Amino acid sequence: MIDDSIPRAIIQRDKKSYAIVPKIPVGIITPEQLDRISAVAKKYDIPAIKITSGQRIALVGIEEDKLEDIWHELDMPRGQVKPGERSLHYVQACPGIAACKYGVQDAIGMGQEMDKVFSDINLPAKVKVGISGCSFSCGESMVRDIGLLGKKSGWSLVIGGNAARRPRIGDIVAERLSKEQVIALTQRFLDFYGLYGKEKERTARFCERLGLEKIQQAILNENEWLNHSANYEEWDTD
């Protein structure tokens, strides 16, 4: 019987095969990694290779007994694939100033830093990050749990966006931020979300439940949310 508990692999519709998604932060991949993906796809006769909406590459239709051999030969980090995994799901980013003529901020560099800092964090539900180097928002920043919009004056931090069954445009919680301020404020929000978020509650529903004013009050004043730990009911509004 096929096993749905295998980490970093997801059962496909046929109930006989799996898909895996190597971790590719902000969609940046090397020629060597592409060569290895191509090699394992040919060697193991993988029927489909799909570029995902999160700027990753899914290998689809793998037999269970081939999973570990394929991961070994890919020699790439294993990405999150299951909806229930409660951590950073992925970071996507537009080219930003690295290539795009409209870019005003370094979206790729910021995305790589966000992935590095937050990749191992434990959360109430999965979190997706979208980073855009300008206001055109090609990184889908307004519909991600954490979004960044680049402007000449700095970064705007967006929280609580979602593009799933109950879509929600995110809230801009702060503007004109430096890279260091973005990391610090994101850490505060995720700490706050980790403390007061309900199990499996995405940030969109969390932000709706508490409201932007309460969240800003908590995270824009350093460590203020810790003062509310003894009064949890104040934040646990329905």
For the segment 214-234, the average pLDDT, to the nearest whole number, is 63
Give CA–CA dist 167/8, Å, rounded.
Answer: 26
Grouping H, G, I as helix, E, B as strand and the rest as coil, residue 67 is: helix
What domains, with CATH codes, occur in the chain? 10-74 (3.30.1370), 88-234 (3.30.413.10)
* Confidence at residue 231, expressed as pLDDT on a 0 to 100 scale: 46
Contact, 61 vs 19, CB < 8 A? yes
For the segment 103-117, the average pLDDT, to the nearest whole number, is 97
Is residue 203 very low, low, confident or very high in pLDDT (cuts 50, 70, 90)? very high
Give CA–CA dist 89/236, Å, rounded.
Answer: 25
Give the model confidence (pLDDT) of 143-179 as tens digits. 999 999 999 999 999 999 999 999 999 999 999 999 9
Place of tokens 């999965």: 126
Which amino acid is it at 181? Q
* Confidence at residue 221, expressed as pLDDT on a 0 to 100 scale: 79
* Confidence at residue 238, expressed as pLDDT on a 0 to 100 scale: 46
Give CA–CA dist 212/83, Å, rounded.
Answer: 26
Give the model confidence (pLDDT) of 18-49 as tens digits. 999 999 999 999 999 999 999 999 999 999 99
For residue 117, pLDDT beyond 50: yes
Give the model confidence (pLDDT) of 85-107 as tens digits. 789 999 999 999 999 999 999 99
